[in-house]
Structure 1
Amino acid sequence: MNVLITGANRGLGYEIAAEALERGHSVIAGVRNPDEDHSGLKLLGDKHGERLTLTRLDVTDEKGIAELAASLQHEGRTLGAIVNNAAILTARNTPIELLDMDEVAKTFEINLYGPMRVVKHFLPLLTETQAAIINISSEAGSISNAYPGDYPYAISKTALNMFSEQLHVYLKERDIQVLGVHPGWMRTDMGGSNAPTDPRLPARGILDLIERHTVPGARFRFVDYTGKEMPI
């Protein structure tokens, strides 16, 4: 299986790439700037060779996304999974009265429009058997458990859940699994050092979902990394 991952240079994206490679898959690791020091991915490349492709993939750059998709298609590459992982968390604990709307717009560009751009251009390549689209979501996007704060992040993830649901309806006859996945509070740059979860654990769960070892029975396409239904 060929797995495309956005934001693959660190945190959960890196761990998903590492887990996929360990399981024998090939990974197209999308990063915003390939010229930066991606030592972790370099080590993965040294270990797994040509099964890892490091490529520029800025989810805010639709022209670049389209060019990458066209290049891979020209090479005859197909995809078995798309993991929309790239995201930002800004304006933490900022009251609505002080919220910078530019931060909201920037968050939506990456957290929502980014996955939409990626799916728009890479869906024609998603032709491998029992393919999957995994949109990394968050419990913050649950309307049932809404809280005042993290407005840009939470609202963008709520909208991402809706996008997952729409894609599920659109693609179910093609047997493409679409899920919005809450990975939990993890020890990453976003989650901080006090988080309880090693990101490799949800990475394993996400690969189990992609490989359909775990099959969610939820009504909606919003689940945690074990496949358990999340509250919409």
Structure 2
Amino acid sequence: MKILVTGANRGLGYALSKAAVLRGHTVLACARNEDQLKDLIEQYPNQVHPLELDVTDEKSVAVAAAKASEKWESIDVIINNAGALYERDAKIEDLDFSLLERTMNVNLYGPMRVVKHFLPLLFKGTDQTIINISSDAGSITTAYGGDYPYAISKTALNMFTKQIKHYVSNKNINVYAIHPGWIKTDMGGERAPGSPDDTANNLIDIVEKKKIIDEDLFFIKHDGESMKI
């Protein structure tokens, strides 16, 4: 499979890229600067192909999609992993709306831009899947008073995921918003109990159709279990 991963230079994106190539897949590794992908490229020069892509810049996404289409006729998987977390402990009375806007630009508009420009390539692929990395913070059922920018952006991302699932429903493409768990990354912190490698391997299992997931589900945990919307 040819798997596109945004935010591939660190954290879960890095773990996803490694998990995919170790199973024999080709990875279109996306980051804002190709130099950020140097380690992946050096380790897996024949399987990792860098794409400079800034999810907050539509022109950047469009150019990356054009470059990908010049080299490949199709892709099979889109994993929208790039994310931002600002104002984690801010009270609503103190919220910096410029950081809310920045969060939406990365966490919601970013995946929307990627799907917009890479969907034509995905339509030509096989056993296709779109994964948007979401969070339990995006659940309306279990909403709590905090993480306003992050939680709201992930709730909106879940809505977009459901819309795209409906849009491609006649093309046999799996579409999921996935809670990766609390994992040790720059975003998750050192106290996180989970491993990005474990989550990455579970996500690749989903991509490879090794997990049986009810076709009506779209918001799930990385192990395939249903999440409360």
- Could you say which TM-score interval applies, normalised by the shorter chain? over 0.9
Match of 1:105 in 2: 101
Match of 1:121 in 2: 117
Q: Distance in 2 between matches of 1:45 and 1:34?
A: 9
The answer to whether residue 69 in structure 2 is matched with residue 73 in structure 1 is yes
Q: Give the deviation of 1:71 after TM superposition.
A: 1.8
Q: Give the deviation of 1:73 after TM superposition.
A: 1.2
Match of 2:43 in 1: 47
Q: Distance in 2 between matches of 1:23 and 1:76?
A: 20
Q: Distance in 2 between matches of 1:60 and 1:107?
A: 10
Q: Distance in 1 between matches of 2:154 and 2:40?
A: 30
The answer to whether residue 171 in structure 2 is matched with residue 140 in structure 1 is no
Q: Which moved more, 1:212-221 or 1:92-101?
A: 212-221
Match of 1:220 in 2: 217
Contact 1:31/1:58 (<8 A) preserved: yes
The runs of at least 4 aligned residues of structure 1 exceeding 3 Å deviation read 41-44
Q: Give the deviation of 1:33 after TM superposition.
A: 1.8
Aligned length: 228
Match of 1:207 in 2: 204
Contact 1:6/1:86 (<8 A) preserved: yes
Match of 1:31 in 2: 31
TM-score by length of 2: 0.96
TM-score by length of 1: 0.95
Q: Which moved more, 1:122-131 or 1:105-114?
A: 122-131
Q: Distance in 1 between matches of 2:77 and 2:156?
A: 21
Structure 1 gaps of 5+ residues are none
Match of 1:149 in 2: 146
Match of 1:85 in 2: 81
Q: Distance in 1 between matches of 2:190 and 2:90?
A: 21
| Equivalent AA in structure 2 for residue 106 of structure 1 | R
Contact 1:218/1:228 (<8 A) preserved: no
| Equivalent AA in structure 1 for residue 97 of structure 2 | M
Q: Distance in 2 between matches of 1:150 and 1:125?
A: 35
Name the SS for the 2:178 alignment partner. strand
Please, what is the CA RMSD of the aligned residues? 1.2
Match of 1:9 in 2: 9
The answer to whether residue 169 in structure 2 is matched with residue 172 in structure 1 is yes
